[in-house]
Structure 1
Amino acid sequence: MLYRRSLPARSVSLICFLLFLSPVSLSAAEKPNIILIMCDDMGFSDIGCYGGEVQTPHLNRLAQEGMRFTQFYNNAKCTTTRASILTGLYPRFGKGGHMRQNMVTLGEAMKTAGYHTGLSGKWHLMKTQGYAKSEKPGGWLNRYDKTTHPFFRGFDSYYGVLDGCCNFFDPTISDPPYKRAGIRSFGHDDKAVTEFKEGYYTTDAFTDHTLGMIKEYSDNERPFFIHLCYTAPHYPLHAKPADIKKYAGKFKMGWDQMRKDRWKRLQEMGIAGENWSLSEGDSRAYAWETANQEFEDQRMAVYAAMIDSMDQNIGRIMTTLKETGQLDNTLVLFLSDNGGCSEEPGGRNPQERTPGPKDDYVAVGPAWGWAQNSPFRRYKSWVHEGGISTPMIAWWPGKVPAGAINRSPAHIIDLMPTFLEMAGAEYPKTYQGHEILPVEGTSILPLLQGEEKTLHDSLAWYWSGNRALRQGPWKLVWDKGVGEWELYDISADRCETKNLAKQQPERVQQMSKDWFAWAEKVELGTKVKQK
């Protein structure tokens, strides 16, 4: 059954709001609510509506009633993606960090536009006098820099983990020594959270806080902007036994067959274009035939259960929107912060690692992490399509065309100008006495309305030695493990299977110069050397 749609009183004036193509003065009743949901370390083809095996009926429903994007890009890494979403800027890599006073956040901008604002879940942009190795819950919070804390950067309400990903069942449990990060810090507004009740699970708790904000903010005429940042399905692999049971034994086909199965479903769904093909192999994957298949199946089953739990919670959000009369007046967006993850702290020895319960710390590893991004190459931290391509769903009844697939390239830096245009507000030139860097994104409202449109002449990426530049159909990629530029025609070869660098050296040279010009702008400095 599709979501039933009720029409709140303030939505009546939105019937003609599809024409919102320029920032104009809007009353509170004309401004839509926005809920931006982002998961953590989830692959391009993990959820059902993008070809995956996981049971995601609520996300599938949003896709059926809304729009799926096939070329929506993130920054390949947790921190840099979060920085770009919140600022509408490429991440800066210099001394000032990713979050600075000459940058305005979505919380600040939407608050200025007349919105209630809230953030629930992972922040990961705190700047302190030292790294988070405290052995006391909340220890890191005692050293925070207010200029990088969500409660002091425009969000009326905040609840969640301020640094990386913590134990899902008990955030007071320290990361193991091989992860070297100590106890992650939790906060509620500007206070530390150090106690967690029996039965706690972060995915549920982040949703609970979101539901509370929806109910509170729905009591008056002001619209709301809520950014919900799940840590699922980021490692450690922690899930409820009932959810794990659904998937036990479901992944014994192995990663190679899983990729082929997903590829077939992507074609049948119409997600895969004619210029797509299934990429082959990965340098860090290993053979299914010689792997411990029981252990590997268990790892992926827990990972799937984490996504399943997240989907259940998204269903709770949609129910609450209906109950509060906000369903038809809310844009819901869903995406992932980067591709599936190949990291494997603690290794894969089944005698030492147990996926699922709170007393161990396990990841899916490089073979599953690669397969989760089928049909693309690579994964988190790399800037081939598998690292930077996210599933992206946009749902807004009567505004976003139902069942649509949009193939225009877009980027997370585009969300800030999109939301401001929806709010009828301008991007600020100054904020609290500081000159603000000009926004680098472009509004995707035309795409949400069903247009196919080129928004950017150029898009660029960097993380941990990996580089990329896309200009029109051409994409230049530097894989730190290879150590030379690769060139792909994305219009003919979306999955980067045919390297054209040797056939087009002049294009490689020019695009390389353009990438280094961008690198200078984002303060990469000595992190990269021109070759």
Structure 2
Amino acid sequence: MLKRICCLLLPILYMGPAFGQAPKQKPNIVIILADDMGFSDIGCFGSEISTPNIDRLAHEGLKMTQFYNAGRCCPSRAALLTGLYPHQAGVGDMIKYKGSPAYQGFLNENSATIAELLKDEAGYNTIVSGKWHVGLQQSALAYNRGFDRSFTMLNNGSSYFNSAPLYNDGSKITFMLNDKEVTRNDTSKYLTQAITDFAVKSLDEIKAQQKPFFMYVAYNAPHWPIQALPQDIAKYKGQYLKGWDVLRKQRYEKQLAADIIKKQWQLSARDKRAPAWDSLSPEEKDKWDTRMAIYAAMVYRMDACIGEIITKLKQLGKDKNTIILFASDNGGSADEVKSLSTVIQKSGVPGSVNSIDSYEIPWANVSNTPFKLFKRNTHEGGIATPLIAWYPGHIKAGSTNDSPGHLIDLMPTCLDLAGVKYPTQFKNRQLTPLAGVSLVDAFKRKPYTGNKTLFWEHEGSRAIRKGKWKLVAESGQPWELYNLNADRSEINNLADKFPALVNQLKDEYGQWAVKVGVVDWSKIANL
């Protein structure tokens, strides 16, 4: 009798899946971040550069066309990793201390990384490969921030062929393999390939484990110095002799045809610092063609390496339960490296280890089509990024979402996917509440509006976006107001027409700035 009662009660007491079904697996999560890649630099967002693997992710997944970064490498990485505005994580600027907690230059104790929370709260394996750049202090290094396996570059950039110094101030380029420094020499693999190989190798090392994994692949490409493999450069040499004026228009037309942009958004004017292409001599055209061919080769090789990661996931049978998220840390860079006295200049064969160069304002203006301005700026050219989300069976193929989103949303998205609640405390550290919101509803095509208000500040450049309105100002310049529904290219400044709205948004920005610790840039710029 007792045996019969136990048999009857057992299905009631057992709270697991019924009828022998396996528990639902937590998804594997891969975040891939490009460095200094503009809004239009991949094929599915308008580019002529061949990016079939990224394009495949977009074709089989979701494109978010009004997604944002924090305008520069360090702040964007801090925002992505922590789900906080950069200032809240201690990285309001770069990795140099600027006199206040919001600009201390490394991840603070009131932030936790995606890896820390997924590892401790959900049992994930955690991997990072690539550019780290959120602090040089031990407490801020990847192996102390939740990553089981890490190959990281701590600096803003490096030669793609070795780890020789880039700057003439005596500072070194530091690569780390877990907790040990490693040196890259001229016989080392091309950096984009080395980052990929570590990621693939790490996946092989954990393939027998039943735990899910979180992997963050942070490419340094296509950040300067523009250096690429000779065969990749040859693929693009001569393709840019048509010039930046033609290329910007062609990318713009492709974006319109692909519904990446709205037809009412005009193509912004060529940056006034860039000459008309037809005014250049044949020798100048050849030089500029070479620069862009090298840049294109860097994007092309990054895409090929992303293809290797996708292939490895499929080989391991992990592709069906893995979500891949792809974005860029800021817009195309207007840096003119050959004019920087702080950089060790090299003028060897363009694109080689013996050359230090950048693609400068004219081509960065193409990268950021249809927008104006660049990395470091909080106009759209500096902060707009493609966001591609791929998750077979969960995200509808070929879908598009034009709701605003931001890198601060990736932490809450990862936690949501893994079924983890963001804690108020972590390892005796009081955590700052998340600034981002989960993107999962957007992935599921449910009603999703994103963050209704977003904010930016970087070296005095500042902005607030609330609904269709954006208030933006460069450092030391007056506020500008744009209706992004009608004019995301920021051509028609409406500040004089709507002074009350300017004041309202300015006040709201001011409240946010106080909350996160923004400091007047003119008072800290030289610290």
TM (norm. structure 1) is 0.88
Please show how residues 356-435 of structure 1 align to structure 2 within 5 Å.
356-435=351-430
Q: Which amino acid aligns with 1:391?
A: P
CA contact (8 A) 1:28 1:114 kept: no
Aligned match of 1:480 in 457, 475, 479? 475
Q: Which amino acid aligns with 1:266?
A: Q
- Which residue in the other structure is 1:108 paired with? 116
Q: CA deviation at 1:451?
A: 3.6
Please show how residues 192-231 of structure 1 align to structure 2 within 5 Å.
192-196=181-185, 198-231=187-220
Is 1:174 aligned to 2:165, yes or no?
A: yes
Give structure 1 stretches of 5+ with no counterpart: 1-26, 128-144
Take 2:354 and 2:74, find their aligned partners in 1: how far apart are those partners? 26
Take 2:38 and 2:183, find their aligned partners in 1: how far apart are those partners? 31
Take 2:420 and 2:263, find their aligned partners in 1: how far apart are those partners? 39
Is 1:321 aligned to 2:316, yes or no?
A: no
Relative distance call for 1:64 and 1:100 in structure 2 (3 A) is same
- Which residue in the other structure is 1:89 paired with? 84
Aligned match of 1:508 in 499, 502, 507? 502
Take 1:354 and 1:487, find their aligned partners in 2: how far apart are those partners? 45
Take 1:373 and 1:352, find their aligned partners in 2: how far apart are those partners? 27
TM (norm. structure 2) is 0.88
Take 1:42 and 1:213, find their aligned partners in 2: how far apart are those partners? 26
- Which residue in the other structure is 2:95 paired with? none
Take 2:71 and 2:65, find their aligned partners in 1: how far apart are those partners? 16
Q: Answer with 421-430 or 515-524: which moved more.
A: 515-524
Take 1:459 and 1:336, find their aligned partners in 2: how far apart are those partners? 18
Q: CA deviation at 1:28?
A: 7.6
Q: Answer with 61-70 or 450-459: which moved more.
A: 450-459
Take 2:279 and 2:339, find their aligned partners in 1: how far apart are those partners? 16
- Which residue in the other structure is 2:484 paired with? 490
Aligned match of 1:232 in 221, 225, 235? 221
- Which residue in the other structure is 1:14 paired with? none
Aligned match of 1:125 in 134, 140, 159? 134
Q: Which secondary structure state, in structure 2, belongs to the residue aligned with residue 110 of structure 1? A: helix
Take 1:259 and 1:286, find their aligned partners in 2: how far apart are those partners? 14
Q: CA deviation at 1:52?
A: 0.3
Take 1:195 and 1:377, find their aligned partners in 2: how far apart are those partners? 37
Take 1:283 and 1:52, find their aligned partners in 2: how far apart are those partners? 22
Q: CA deviation at 1:98?
A: 4.4
Runs of 4 or more above 4 Å deviation? 350-354
Take 1:527 and 1:174, find their aligned partners in 2: how far apart are those partners? 29
Take 2:237 and 2:247, find their aligned partners in 1: how far apart are those partners? 15
Is 1:156 aligned to 2:151, yes or no?
A: no
CA contact (8 A) 1:28 1:221 kept: no
Q: CA deviation at 1:406?
A: 0.9
Q: Which amino acid aligns with 1:324?
A: L
Take 2:170 and 2:487, find their aligned partners in 1: how far apart are those partners? 40
Relative distance call for 1:174 and 1:499 in structure 2 (3 A) is same
Q: Which amino acid aligns with 2:405?
A: A
Q: Which amino acid aligns with 2:487?
A: D
Is 1:331 aligned to 2:323, yes or no?
A: yes
CA deviations 1:4-51 (Å, max 9, x no partner) are xxxxxxxxxxxxxxxxxxxxxxx9852000000001000110111111
Bigger Rg, structure 1 or 2 = 2
Relative distance call for 1:274 and 1:195 in structure 2 (3 A) is closer
Aligned match of 1:245 in 220, 234, 239? 234
Q: Which secondary structure state, in structure 1, belongs to the residue aligned with residue 196 of structure 2? A: helix
Q: Which amino acid aligns with 2:27?
A: P
Relative distance call for 1:230 and 1:464 in structure 2 (3 A) is same
Take 1:324 and 1:181, find their aligned partners in 2: how far apart are those partners? 44
RMSD: 1.9
- How many residues align? The count is 482
Q: Which secondary structure state, in structure 1, belongs to the residue aligned with residue 337 of structure 2? A: coil
Q: Which amino acid aligns with 1:194?
A: T
- Which residue in the other structure is 2:7 paired with? none
Q: Which secondary structure state, in structure 2, belongs to the residue aligned with residue 343 of structure 1? A: coil
Give structure 2 stretches of 5+ with no counterpart: 1-21, 93-99
CA contact (8 A) 1:41 1:337 kept: yes
- Which residue in the other structure is 1:57 paired with? 52
